[in-house]
């Protein structure tokens, strides 16, 4: 596959919270480790992606959940890694210095069990070269904190406000789909200081071994990702965009993206960038294909820049198709 030309890159480059992303594609947290693993894949280049979200990081090291941690499901996968990581100090002092910040943007993923832990981890990343900070308030595979924060608007806003107070870096809130009013939660997070959203995190799910009559996942339940959740994720992005568009708050749309058409759907629904996750496990070079597909679509529809697709959804009975920027 031929490399992107300078003209191609101009069409794909997007502004996200003041950060210049080379393409609208973002590698999602938990899918690329701490950013250095994929540089070993032949043919992979960080220049093909706009940003890389690092693995979820807590204040102290965590061993994660017991096995099994991953289970394949129809059109997706369950995972319950349990936020295994070496701790914030190790990530900041040992891992970040080894990353090439000239190639792409790197986003930290802050996780915790208490508001105080979120504050301390955010504070450490604020005093680092990291480009932005994603607050993981919606992790469905840990027993404490995690999904409880993300499903309660008051707690979500409390965590965002606490992190906002200790960093000036762009703050991205990762929203849970396991709640009744995701748009209302987004509104509260904007009021608390969130600069952007990642929509959505995985859905809670389970797989059962009928031979043993026990859950396949050692944590009993885990986060469902992959193509199975894409229709839900698209609707969630559309709902959150209705809140975000009046505040100029960008969204990373994510959930089951495996093709260029998937990415285009998220952009049209309201996303400014598109997250790639589960697809990387079976096609580490999928971003090259998706970038090419987006460019082909722009040419076919005589659209000058990918940003013109964001929020260009035409609901039935509301006019003729067109792009948000003309």
DSSP annotation string for 95-154: IGGGS-TTTSEEEEEE--SSHHHHHHHHHHHHTSS-SEEEEE---TTSSSSTHHHHH-HH
pLDDT beyond 80 at 2: no
Distance set, CA 53 to CA 56, 133, 235, 262, 309 (Å): 9, 9, 23, 20, 23
Question: In 3D, which of 198, 179, 46 has the Cα closest to residue 110?
Answer: 198
Whether 163 is catalytic: no
Domain boundaries, the chain: 6-309
**Residue-wise pLDDT tens digits, 127-174:** 999 999 999 987 544 455 545 667 889 999 999 999 999 999 999 999
Structure tokens at 290: 């998706």
Question: Which is it for the CA torsion 158, 160, 164, 167, positive or negative?
Answer: positive
Q: pTM of the full predicted structure?
A: 0.94
Specify the DSSP element, H or E, that contains 236.
Answer: helix 230-244
pLDDT at site 140: 45
pLDDT greater at residue 57 or residue 141 = 57
**Residue-wise pLDDT tens digits, 177-213:** 988 899 999 999 999 999 999 999 999 999 999 999 9
- Do residues 124 and 63 touch, judged by C-beta distance below 8 A? no
Q: Which CATH architecture has domain 6-309?
A: Alpha-Beta Barrel (3.20)
Structure tokens at 58: 């807590």
pLDDT beyond 80 at 55: yes
Give the phi and the psi of residue 190 in degrees, each rounded to 5. -65, -45
Under 8 Å CB-to-CB from 242, ≥6 apart: which residues?
183, 270
Question: In 3D, which of 243, 115, 126, 147 has the Cα closest to residue 190?
Answer: 243
**What value does the mean pLDDT take over residues 256-277?**
98
Give the chain's mean pLDDT: 93
Under 8 Å CB-to-CB from 152, ≥6 apart: which residues?
none
pLDDT at site 95: 96
Question: In 3D, which of 84, 148, 134 has the Cα closest to residue 106?
Answer: 134
pLDDT band of 322, cuts 50, 70, 90: low
Using CB atoms within 10 Å of the CB of residue 255, give its burial: 0 to 12 exposed, 13 to 18 middle, 19+ buried. buried
Catalytic choice (17, 31, 53, 139): 139
Relative orientation angle of helices 182-192 and 230-244, to the nearest 10 degrees: 40
pLDDT band of 29, cuts 50, 70, 90: very high
Cα 44 from chain centre: 20
**Residue-wise pLDDT tens digits, 294-320:** 999 999 999 999 999 999 999 998 665
pLDDT at site 45: 84
Question: For a pLDDT cut of 90, what percent of the chain falls above it?
Answer: 83
Question: In 3D, which of 273, 297, 319, 293 has the Cα closest to residue 17?
Answer: 273
CA atoms of 153 and 138, how far apart (whole Å): 12
**What value does the mean pLDDT take over residues 275-295?**
96
Cα 127 from chain centre: 22
């Amino acid at each position: 596959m031929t490399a992107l030309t300078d003209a191609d890159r101009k069409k794909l480059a997007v502004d996200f919270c003041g950060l210049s992303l080379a393409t609208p594609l973002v590698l999602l947290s938990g899918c690329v480790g701490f950013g250095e693993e994929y540089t070993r894949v032949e043919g992979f280049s960080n220049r093909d992606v706009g940003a890389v979200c690092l693995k979820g990081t807590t204040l102290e090291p965590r061993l994660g959940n017991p096995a099994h941690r991953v289970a394949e499901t129809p059109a997706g996968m369950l995972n319950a890694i349990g936020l295994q990581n070496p701790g914030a100090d190790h990530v900041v002092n040992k891992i970040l210095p080894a990353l090439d910040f000239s190639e792409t943007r790197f986003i930290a993923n802050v996780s915790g069990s208490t508001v105080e832990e979120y504050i301390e981890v955010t504070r450490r990343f604020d005093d680092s070269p990291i480009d932005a900070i994603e607050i993981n308030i919606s992790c469905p595979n840990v027993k404490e904190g995690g999904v409880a924060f993300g499903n309660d608007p008051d707690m979500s806003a409390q965590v965002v406000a606490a992190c906002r107070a200790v960093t000036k870096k762009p703050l991205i809130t990762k929203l849970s789909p396991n709640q009744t009013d995701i748009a209302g939660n987004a509104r509260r997070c904007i009021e608390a200081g969130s600069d952007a959203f990642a929509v959505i995190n995985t859905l809670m799910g389970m797989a059962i071994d009928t031979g043993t009559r026990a859950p396949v996942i050692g944590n009993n339940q885990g986060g469902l990702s992959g193509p199975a959740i894409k229709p839900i994720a698209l609707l969630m992005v559309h709902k959150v965009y209705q809140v975000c568009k009046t505040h100029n708050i960008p969204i990373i749309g994510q959930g089951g993206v495996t093709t260029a058409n998937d990415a285009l759907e998220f952009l049209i629904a309201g996303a400014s960038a598109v997250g790639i996750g589960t697809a990387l496990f079976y096609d580490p070079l999928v971003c090259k294909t998706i970038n090419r597909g987006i460019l082909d679509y722009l040419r076919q529809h005589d659209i000058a820049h990918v940003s013109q697709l964001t929020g260009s959804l035409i609901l039935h009975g509301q006019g003729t198709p067109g792009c948000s920027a003309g």
